[in-house]
Amino acid sequence: MGCSKNEYKEHKVDEHNGIHLNLIEICSLIDPQQITEFAAGDPNENPWVEGQPQLESIALSAYDPIWPLWYEQIRAQVVTALANQVLSMTHVGSTAVPDLAAKPVIDIDMIVADPQDEASYVPRLTQLGYRLTIREPSWYQHRMLRLDRPRVNLHVFAPNCPEHIRHLLFRDWLITHTDDRQRYAAVKQRALDGVDTVQAYNLNKQAVVRDIYQNIFKFYNLLGQD
C-alpha cells in the first residue's frame, strides 16, 4: 500500500513549532484507506449546538496577504489560552492557499488529546469570544467553534484524524499545483449560484473537490495500486 520511503520521505505536509510530519510518518500512524475513504457521520445526529445556521450571503474575496497574519495572531492567542492542551494548530482551507479566492474566513484545525473533553478547552476559548456551534461525535469527534471578528472556524479533532490529514494534503496540493488550484477557483465561483448556506455552497463544489482528492491519492499511491 502507498507511501514508499524513496518517493515520500521529503514531502512535508504539516508543521508545528518546527516539527514536520511527512507521509511516511502519517502512514505509520493510520491506515491509508481511512484517508481515502470519506466517512460519513450518523445522519440522525444533530450537530447544531445553537440550532440550524441562519441564512447568509456567501461571497468570495480575492486572496489577501493579511489572512496568514491573522492566523498567526489567532494561533498565538489560542495557544496562550490553552497552553499544553493544544497538540497542534494548522491554517487550512482556502485562506491558507496564496492566489486563491476565498470566503474571508480563517479555517484552523486544532488537535487536542480528546475532543470529547470540552471542559478542557471550550470555556477558555469562550473567554476569547469563540462560540461552540458544531458537535459531531459520530464524525471524527469533530467540534467547531466560531469567532466573529475576525471570522474564524476553529475545527477540533483528535490526533491522527483522517479529515485533518486530508485538509493538509488538499491545502499543500493546491499550493503546488496551479492547474487544480485554478480548477478549484472556478468551481468555487460557480458554486455560489443560488445558495444561501455554506452547506449548499460546499455541496455544489463537492464533485470537483473529490476529483482533486483522487489526483492527490493517486500521486501518493494511497489507493493501494502499485
Q: Indicate whether 226 belongs to any domain.
A: no
pLDDT value, residue 20: 39
Interval 26-49 mean pLDDT: 89
Number of domains in the chain: 1
Pairing of strands 106-111, 19-22: unpaired
The answer to whether 173 and 180 have CB atoms below 8 angstroms apart is yes
Contacts with 44 (C-beta within 8 Å, 6 or more apart), sequence order: none
What pLDDT is recorded for position 28? 65
Specify if 196 maps to a domain: yes
137 found inside a domain: yes
Residue 192 belongs to some domain of the structure: yes
pLDDT in tens, 71-97: 999 999 999 999 899 999 999 999 999
Task: Write down the mean pLDDT value for the chain.
Answer: 88
Residue 21 has pLDDT above 90, yes or no: no
Give the separation between CA 95 and CA 71, rounded to whole angstroms. 9
Instruction: Give the CATH number for residue 166.
Output: 3.30.460.10
Confidence of residue 26 (pLDDT cuts 50, 70, 90): low
Report if residue 160 sits inside a domain. yes
**Residue 150: inside a domain:** yes
d(CA 180, CA 178): 6
Residue 23 lies in a domain: yes
13 pLDDT exceeds 60? no
pLDDT band at 6 (very low <50, low <70, confident <90, very high): very low
List pLDDT tens digits, range 117-174: 999 999 999 999 999 999 999 999 999 999 999 999 999 999 999 999 999 999 999 9
- Please indicate, yes or no, if residue 224 is contained in any of the structural domains: no
**Range of 80's domain?**
5-219
Contacts of residue 42, Cβ cutoff 8 Å, sequence gap at least 6: 138, 139
**Element housing 161 (H / E):** none
